[in-house]
Amino acid sequence: MKLYDYGTAPNPRRVRIVLAEKGLDYELVQVDLSQGHHKTPEFLAKNPSGKVPVLELDDGRCLSESIAICRYLEAICPEPNLFGSDAYELGQIEMRNRQMEAELMSQVGISWIHGPIVAKKGVYKNIPEAKEVSDSNVKKYYERLDKEFSSAEYVAGPRFTIADITLLCSIDFAATMVDLKPDDTLLNLWRWHALVSSRDSIEM
């Protein structure tokens, strides 16, 4: 398998962590988004949407969208289980992962798109008002998470799941690339962050 990746992006990182959790071998191929290498005909043949990550199987078939790739990996290598076992747990972990995406990761994404690094490139229309709203949403959500972690060890229950991976990649990207590091006073959130970051599968 080959994983088409871009070093600092939060979505390919989710896939790399799942690959490491499952101990799967693969070849990492860097696609330089800053040079537009995701818009070449060769890359668009692998993913017509022109985004990383893409997983290319040994038979040449390709999958894109991080969670779609991770779900494929869970199906070919079920252990350790990251998406749930029985019907309720499958739903509940999907729910928590979706909440981390819809309520935090997407807001971090808006702050990134309308922030200074992207604005310089001129690819997206820069709307500073949109960033003000999403910055505020992110900070409020960190506070909510901190309250939740006062009585919960992980995002989706008593064990590490894909929902923890999504939250970790969202926070680390927000902290390093968008100037939205959670406040030092959010002790429960940072306790969770240290717990999850200590796993062997976690790299920046």
The binding site for a second copy (CB under 8 A) comprises 49, 57, 61, 63-65, 67-69, 71-72, 75-76, 86-88, 90-92, 94-95, 98-99, 102-103, 106, 124-125, 127, 129-130, 133
Report the residue number, 154 or 199, with the smaller CB distance to a second copy.
154
Side-by-side strand order, sheet with 62-64 = 27-30, 2-5, 54-56, 62-64
Cα distance between residue 180 and residue 114, in whole Å? 13
Minimal distance in Å, beta carbon 79 to a second copy?
A: 14
Report the residue number, 189 or 202, with the smaller CB distance to a second copy.
189
Minimal distance in Å, beta carbon 67 to a second copy?
A: 6
Report the residue number, 152 or 175, with the smaller CB distance to a second copy.
152
Minimal distance in Å, beta carbon 3 to a second copy?
A: 13
Minimal distance in Å, beta carbon 65 to a second copy?
A: 4
| Residues in contact with 194: Cβ distance below 8 Å, sequence separation at least 6, in sequence order | none
Of 40, 163, 168, nearest to 4 by C-alpha is 40
Cα distance between residue 190 and residue 196, in whole Å? 10
Report the residue number, 8 or 124, with the smaller CB distance to a second copy.
124
- Report the DSSP pairing between strands 62-64 and 27-30: unpaired
Cα distance between residue 180 and residue 88, in whole Å? 34
Report the residue number, 47 or 168, with the smaller CB distance to a second copy.
47
Report the residue number, 159 or 181, with the smaller CB distance to a second copy.
159
Greatest pairwise CA separation for the chain in angstroms: 50
Minimal distance in Å, beta carbon 55 to a second copy?
A: 8
Cα distance between residue 165 and residue 21, in whole Å? 11
Minimal distance in Å, beta carbon 151 to a second copy?
A: 12
Do you find a cis peptide bond into 80, omega within 30 degrees of 0? yes
